[in-house]
Each structure stands twice: as C-alpha cells, then as structure tokens.
Structure 1
Amino acid sequence: MQPVNRWIDLETPHGPIRGWRAEPTGPSRGAVLVIQEIFGVNAHIRSVADRLAAAGFVALAPALFDPVEHGVELTYSDADLQRGRALTAALGIPRAMDLLNAAAEKLQMEGLRVGAVGFCWGGTLAFLCATRLQLPAVGYYGARSVPFLDETAGAPLLFHFGGKDPSIPPDDIEKHRKLQPQAQVFVYDDAGHAFNRDVDPHAYAPEAATLAWQRTLAFLEANLR
C-alpha cells in the first residue's frame, strides 16, 4: 500500500522549516530522519522517505536549507552543484544539527524511537546524529565525516561507501574503520558516489543500491525496536 505523505511545518531554534513526512499505512516500526544531499529535499529524497514508510517506518526529511533559502529543490547540474555547496556553507553544520535535533525531538515526543539515514552531505550529518544526538544512524557516502571521526558515537552506526568514489578514497574509508571500530562499514566495489540516487543514471548503481538498502532496513529494524 502507498504511504501517506505530505509537507509539514517544524518549529526549530532557527525559525519554522518544512519537512516531508511519510507514514506507513499500518503500525510503525520506529521513525527515521531522512537527511538530504546538498540538493535539498527534492524528489529523490522524498522518494527515499516514501520507501522507508512503505517498509513500516515514519520518515521525516527536514528541509535543512529553509533558514537560508526556503523551498530549495536542486537538480544535479554543475550549476546546482555549486549552488548546493554555497547553501551548505551558508547554513553550517551547527545550525543543521539544531534543525535535526528539533525534528528528532518532535518524533520522540510522539513516542517513537528515532534513527537517521543520510546521503552525501547528509551522510556526514547522519554520523553526527550518532555522536551528538545519540541516534542510530546510517551514512551513505559521507565524504565530509573525516574531520569528525574522533567524536564518540553514542549509538550504533552503519556506513556505506562506493569503491569507485573519488571523494572518499580508500585511506578515508580505512579511517572510518580505525576510528569508529564498532561501526559496520560496507564498501561496494563497482559503485561510485551517490550510487543510491536512482534518478541519476550517471551515479546509480542498482546492485549496490539494492544491497545497501537491504542492510539499511535490517539495521533500522534491529536498532529501533
């Protein structure tokens, strides 16, 4: 059955923002923050939330750029890539984490156990959800995590990396293993960056994406009981 989905308003320390919320049609198995790439809560990120809802989780994707620019939905063009990078710099990680904390608290107030799944820039933010918010977290190809790897995770962690991702070389992946030894780390040899992005034929790696998704759902099921 199709999930129930809609835009909602979230109150945060930095003013109201939107969030895409998708809910299962039956009882939930917990809740998941879906953390965007640098392209905003676009159709792909909304589809990830919808897939999680179809798997039985309440999914919430906060529009993290709203304090800087409302309603951002970017494509994967070079121009939008540069715009997304500028927006992430303008927002900054501290404000992003405040927004994610507000979203997590809203779900927790509903009596839900909360985890996080993030992609690219959001993969790094998902990692920080484990270290700073104590949320079980899954990070997909978070290339910006290395400076924070000495932080102590207060919740379980799962990392997915593409073996052909130039933004995350093998040495960086090894740093994840060394500095977060309790985490699960999976490398998909034939996949590059953004291999889960099924709307982007230049990035999508179907076999890697399918296997990573199965592992992500198993992780969430085990840690959001």
Structure 2
Amino acid sequence: MTQTHTQDYERADGRRLRLTYAEPDGAVRGGLVVLHEVGGVTDGTRLLVASLAAEGWLAAAPHIVDVDTDEGQGTGPSLLAATDTTLAWLVDHGVRGDQVGVVGFDLGGTAALVVAANRELGAAVSVGGRGISEPATGGLPALMDIAGGLVSPWLGLYGDNGDEVGQAEIDKLKEEAGKSKVATNVVCYAGASHRFDTDPEAAAEAWQRTLSWFDAHLR
C-alpha cells in the first residue's frame, strides 16, 4: 500500500496548514484535495489518500479541525481557505491548475459540494454527505441552496438507506445541480447506507465511478 505522510505546510504569506498526503510511485496524473469526515484525518481518510495515490493521483487531505464533532469541517470560510492552501501545495508540487479536483467522504462529501460551488476546479466528487435540505453544521449552507450555482463538474454518490438522506432529497439535489452550467451527475444506491459500509458491491461501483469522473474531467 502507498505510504502516507504528514507535513506542516507554510505558504509565503504566512498561512499554515497540516496536510496528510501520498504520492504516486510513477507519473502524476493530477492532484486531489481529500476532505475528511467528522473526527479529522482518520485511518479511513488515510486509506482514501493512499488509494488515490495508487491510482496515479497526488492526494492531500488538509487537517481542517481535529475534533470529533459535527464542526469537523469548520465554517464555510475556513473550509475554503484550507482548500485554497491545499491547492497551492499541489501546484507547488508540479500539478497544473487544470488538473486539480476535490473529493470528500461523509461530512467531507458535503464540504466537497460547497467547494465545487465556490471554486472552479477540474472536477469534484461527493461520496455521501448530509445537509441537503438543512445545513449539516452551523457554518455550512444547505446543499439545495447552492447546487444550482456549481462552477466545477460535480458527481454525487449517495445511499438512501438511512435517517440522514432519503431518495426524495437526493432527487431534489439532482434537479438543482442540473440547473448549473457545468457537468453534473447524481447516483443513488438503493438500500445502501450513506457510507456504503454494508454493501461492498455498491462501494466498489462507487469507487470506479469516482475514478472515471476524474479521468474524464482532469486531463
């Protein structure tokens, strides 16, 4: 398995951020910002970072907040600032601006859509995530309110077997995202949990869709 590393990165303007990252063994296809779930950069986040690097992507997860609360992705402004700093780190490591994207899992999936509505990147993927009709945290908007203004191509992958997200909400989000001026797609895995943990087949299919989305848009 590709190894992950952690670095305290400081920009020339003095902004600092801790990053956990992994580098491909061979040629770098592009760079991905990985937005973590509640609880900070967990073993699951490190596995995702390493797995993306194994597919050829320079992947970096900013440590936005290292606490096990629903504020784990911070406020909208702090989320975007952390994303911007991580993007600068990727560019410093030779990734072109048109070859960067963002991916998030669970609450990080919510955050990825927020980024995709505020930053013009090559592609974005949300794997699960709450806060569609009502804000997931006090610092983030309801996704329904911003999906129509997406400025980065966005893929949303959801399961409908849970209390947080249902089929009706997912359908509304897909409709709103379709009003934007960029490519979007929303896929719902019937009967799967929002994390797909209990459905290996859905998890494997979602992983392939994620890789295909980045392959299609980061060239």
Establish whether TM, by shorter chain, passes 0.5.
yes
Q: Does 1:41 align with 2:41?
A: yes
- Percent identity of the aligned residues? 31
Q: Which residue of 190, 206, 217 corresponds with 1:212?
A: 206
Aligned residues: 200
> Offset at 1:145?
4.1
**TM-score, normalised via structure 2 length:** 0.84
- Aligned pairs for 1:30-179 (under 5 A) are 30-65=30-65, 72=66, 83-88=68-73, 91-112=74-95, 113-135=99-121, 136-146=123-133, 147-151=142-146, 152-179=149-176
> Offset at 1:87?
4.4
Provide, for residues 113-168 of structure 1, a one-character-per-residue CA deviation record: whole Å limited to 9, x for no partner: 21111012111111122111112100011212442334311121100000213201
Matches of 1:101 and 1:148, distance apart in 2? 20
Provide, for residues 33-89 of structure 1, a one-character-per-residue CA deviation record: whole Å limited to 9, x for no partner: 111011210111000000000011101011110xxxxxx37xxxxxxxxx422544x
- Moved beyond 2 Å, runs of 4+: 2-5, 10-17, 108-111, 148-151
**TM-score, normalised via structure 1 length:** 0.82
| Structure 1 gap ranges (5+) | 66-71, 74-82, 196-202
User: Residue 33 of structure 1 contacts residue 116 of structure 1 at CA under 8 Å; is this kept in 2?
Assistant: yes
Matches of 1:14 and 1:36, distance apart in 2? 24
One-letter code of the match for 1:173? Answer: I
| Structure 2 gap ranges (5+) | 134-141
User: Residue 123 of structure 1 contacts residue 141 of structure 1 at CA under 8 Å; is this kept in 2?
Assistant: yes
RMSD between aligned residues: 2.0
Matches of 1:145 and 1:10, distance apart in 2? 33
